[in-house]
Structure 1
Amino acid sequence: MTPRHQRNLSRRKVLFALGGAAVAAPAIAAIAPYAMAGTTDAATKAAAGSLPLTIVNNSGSFGNQSVYVYIVGNQDGQQVRVTQDGTLAPIALSDNGADGFTDYALTLAGSGETQLSLPYMSGRIYVALGEKLKFKAVKDGNGNAALQYPAGWVTSDPSFKVLHDCAEFTHNAAGMFCNTTMVDMFSVPMSIRLSGDKVQTTGTVRDGGRAAAFAAVKQIEDFAPLVVDDLRVIAPGHGLDSGLFAKDYFAPYIDEVWSTYTGKDLTVTTNAGTFTGRVRADRFTFGGPASVSFAKPSTRDVLFCDGTLAAPNDGTTGPVAAVLGAGFNRSTLLSNPAQPTTSAADFYRTDLTNHYSKAIHAATEDGKAYGFAFDDVADFASYIQDTAPTAIRVTLAPF
């Protein structure tokens, strides 16, 4: 499977549209809805793409009656949700109840596995344990109905105290593309099993892995404030925006990279070819299949793989930016002048590294996780796909 940083670089933009950019308040899903011809068209599309979805509650801490599932996202530009019977319904302002929030929760079977249906759409499968999430239907900038997503890294968010997490997916005529994600936070251990041309599983947290990840983050002084009780660990980028993480954490490493590659070359290999770069006039400038250059990034740029490390889907700047972002987060740029580094044994070896990502990778059985936006560089993300899917299974693992 070709790493996604060498194929489609829009994932980080999707994450931000779904709430990843929220700081002071929950974000509105930013893809503008449009007026569908009618619910019949939506129902027809849903029926055509219906994929069996099984939810398995092996949490061991919460019974089925205390687990709530939400499937929300977009279909052809309109914001939608999945109902209990597997049909699509548009987000509507009238869905807000007396408390000001929607109730889009899907309930689990009284016991055992729960059978649902997943239509064609892109979005997230949220799980909430113990109590329901507070999604709110609002108007977007164009006056259309939109949905505010939970932001577990924002203390004022109405769902902040709710134990929850999510998986991401795109399901369309081309297949199923899905992942578990810790880009924003890590809370509920879950795995995805995708059946089709073959059977694949990703995201499985090893026995005791959740507790080990929480403990590992707590042991690092700069990262310890990111642990929110036993609810979740917040990703350091969101921690930075919330004042919980140092804005200059990566500055010494960034400075050393800039200094080192003023005097020697760094090569970055992508599907477009090999780029060779040096720092000139304080910009990291690469030649090769195209000329691309980058200003010195900030710690926030590194953690979000954004800003000066933004990766447009252009086939040249984007792939190089993704590899650089991965190299900073994994702290491999100084130890290996030929990127990307492909051996996990060489990741996170320095004291100054992304200890959050290190901890959640160590918590999974296969060492794969989405600890930052381009963790798929060299194929280390908890991502799977199938062009002929027949079923998908999401399992909540024991705590």
Structure 2
Amino acid sequence: MISRRKLLGSLAATAAAAGSGLALTGGRAEGAQRAATLPLTVVNRTGQFANASIWLYIVGNEGGRQVRVTPDGQLAPIALSDNGPDGWTDYAIPLAGSGDTKLTLPRMSGRIYVALGSRLKFKAVADGAGKPALQYPAGWVSGDPNYQVLHDCAEFTFNADGMFCNTTMVDMFSVPLAIHLTGAKDQTTGTLKDGARDKVFSDLAGTDAFESLVLGDRLRVIAPGHGLGAGLFPEDYFASYIDQVWDTYGSKDLKVTTNAGTFTGRVSGGRLSFTGPASVSFAKPSTKDVLFCDGALAAPNDGTTGPVAAILGAGFNRTTLHSSANQPVTDPAAFYTERITHHYAKAMHAATTDGKAYGFAFDDVADFASYIQDTAPTAMTLTLTPF
């Protein structure tokens, strides 16, 4: 499971792993009735693919069931009978013949997938409870039926509280996407600098330990956590940095400030233990725990352990944890300065015009994620930006 939580602000959000749907929840805003649908415009600015070669898929959850959006903007439940004779569903929404594509987005929580050049293959299956569910694309798995398809996605929740959405590179990066959200405010995120897609691929291809994450002829680059499972990334990559952090705070205090207050921690008996608003403790994490912000760094939505774990996860990935005894660090100039660091996330942030990206699960710590929200949304635009 990959979790996204706005732990330093008013929003809490979670996103489930591909194959089991996705859920994002926003804090309730007071007052006005919210619209039941939202205009969605999809803009093709790729410069390489015509509208006729691009397909959309809007899939996710609504009211405890897995659903998809039809081309006319209706919610339809996932059904096993949706699989055709070839074994795959046909949930594709084609773009307009020319110009921008105007759609209607109903209330739900999910992902907007874009596929370029070929359609994606989604399969309806029965989940552990026997309910219809959807197998999502996994571009980091060589045996996945969508491995050779150029595709990517944005994530969102649209509900009575408003629209909460982000571009994401937590799993992989392939198609540059930007989100423009209008309503109480006018906001855009995800826009890449000119030539930034090529630079991401070039930079990572030239970085030790990260070069194997670049797949195909610049088809995509996968996140290092998924590289672990594929044997493409060193399982002990962060080991020396983790040791350095543990050594540092064996002899001095680490202070972590959250909305609940400030926690004071020190390593003793092999664990990093904190006192403060509550007593929380963490075992020494592995590289996998750092990359997924899970395992020893798992962050329950409890208001105490969760916020501390998220800030620790961000500090490990940004490699600021050893050098600053006061966390979180909020100056991006201090991020990713070590030789052993999360070079994938570093490249993603360097690529965007606003410096924001979702390069790892808790990139929202101190508000560095490519995430925007509006409690009174009037329209959303998803743009496939130039390659």
Separation in 2, partners of 1:310, 1:8: 19
Question: Which position in structure 1 is the counterpart of 2:29?
Answer: none
Q: Does the CA contact (< 8 Å) of 1:5 and 1:374 recur in 2? A: no
User: Match of 2:168, as an amino acid?
Assistant: T
The one-character-per-residue Cα deviations of 1:4-40 (angstroms, maximum 9, x if unpaired) are 12355552xx232xx1xxxxxxx34388xxxxxxxxx
In the alignment, structure 1 residue 299 sits paired with structure 2 residue 300: no
Correspondent of 2:115 among 117, 128, 134: 128
User: Match of 2:372, as an amino acid?
Assistant: I
Q: Evaluate the alpha carbon distance shift between residue 281 and residue 9 of structure 1 in structure 2; reply closer, same or farther with a 3 A threshold.
A: farther
In the alignment, structure 1 residue 383 sits paired with structure 2 residue 385: no
In the alignment, structure 1 residue 354 sits paired with structure 2 residue 342: yes
The one-character-per-residue Cα deviations of 1:295-321 (angstroms, maximum 9, x if unpaired) are 000000000000010000000000000
Give the CA deviation at 1:143.
Answer: 1.3
In the alignment, structure 1 residue 79 sits paired with structure 2 residue 81: no
User: Match of 1:252, as an amino acid?
Assistant: S
Question: Which position in structure 2 is the counterpart of 1:36?
Answer: none
Q: Does the CA contact (< 8 Å) of 1:10 and 1:313 recur in 2? A: no
Separation in 2, partners of 1:366, 1:116: 27
In the alignment, structure 1 residue 100 sits paired with structure 2 residue 111: no
Question: Which position in structure 1 is the counterpart of 2:316?
Answer: 328
Question: Which position in structure 1 is the counterpart of 2:249?
Answer: 261
Separation in 1, partners of 2:79, 2:193: 40
The one-character-per-residue Cα deviations of 1:70-126 (angstroms, maximum 9, x if unpaired) are 000000110000001101000011111111000100011111100001000000000
Separation in 2, partners of 1:5, 1:219: 34
More helix by percentage: 1
Question: Which position in structure 2 is the counterpart of 1:248?
Answer: 236
TM-score scaled by structure 2? Answer: 0.94
The one-character-per-residue Cα deviations of 1:25-77 (angstroms, maximum 9, x if unpaired) are xx34388xxxxxxxxxxxxxxx9611000000000010000000000000011
In the alignment, structure 1 residue 90 sits paired with structure 2 residue 77: yes
Q: How do 1:278-317 residues align onto structure 2 when only pairs under 5 Å count?
A: 278-317=266-305
Q: Does the CA contact (< 8 Å) of 2:37 and 2:105 recur in 1? A: yes
- Superposed CA RMSD in Å reads 1.3
User: Match of 2:56, as an amino acid?
Assistant: V
Separation in 2, partners of 1:200, 1:48: 19
Aligned residue for 1:5, secondary structure, equals coil
Q: Does the CA contact (< 8 Å) of 1:9 and 1:312 recur in 2? A: no
User: Match of 1:122, as an amino acid?
Assistant: S
Q: Does the CA contact (< 8 Å) of 1:62 and 1:129 recur in 2? A: yes
Give the CA deviation at 1:334.
Answer: 1.3
Q: Does the CA contact (< 8 Å) of 2:162 and 2:374 recur in 1? A: yes
Question: Which position in structure 1 is the counterpart of 2:97?
Answer: 110
Aligned residue for 1:327, secondary structure, equals helix
Give the CA deviation at 1:267.
Answer: 0.6
Q: Give the share of equivalent positions with the same residue, in percent.
A: 67
Separation in 1, partners of 2:248, 2:208: 28
Question: Which position in structure 2 is the counterpart of 1:197?
Answer: 184
Question: Which position in structure 2 is the counterpart of 1:4?
Answer: 6
Question: Which position in structure 1 is the counterpart of 2:138?
Answer: 151
**Where does the alignment leave 5 or more consecutive residues of structure 1 unmatched?**
20-26, 32-46
Question: Which position in structure 2 is the counterpart of 1:34?
Answer: none
Separation in 1, partners of 2:225, 2:7: 20
The one-character-per-residue Cα deviations of 1:185-240 (angstroms, maximum 9, x if unpaired) are 00000100000001100000111011101111111120100000211100000001
Aligned residue for 2:348, secondary structure, equals helix
Q: Does the CA contact (< 8 Å) of 2:22 and 2:60 recur in 1? A: no
Separation in 2, partners of 1:52, 1:235: 32
The one-character-per-residue Cα deviations of 1:308-367 (angstroms, maximum 9, x if unpaired) are 100000000000000000000000011111000101100000000000000011010011
Question: Which position in structure 1 is the counterpart of 2:28?
Answer: none
Question: Which position in structure 2 is the counterpart of 1:15?
Answer: 16
Separation in 1, partners of 2:60, 2:274: 38
In the alignment, structure 1 residue 340 sits paired with structure 2 residue 328: yes
Separation in 1, partners of 2:170, 2:329: 20
Q: Does the CA contact (< 8 Å) of 2:6 and 2:13 recur in 1? A: no
Q: Does the CA contact (< 8 Å) of 1:163 and 1:187 recur in 2? A: yes
Residue-pair matches, total: 371
In the alignment, structure 1 residue 163 sits paired with structure 2 residue 155: no
Question: Which position in structure 2 is the counterpart of 1:35?
Answer: none
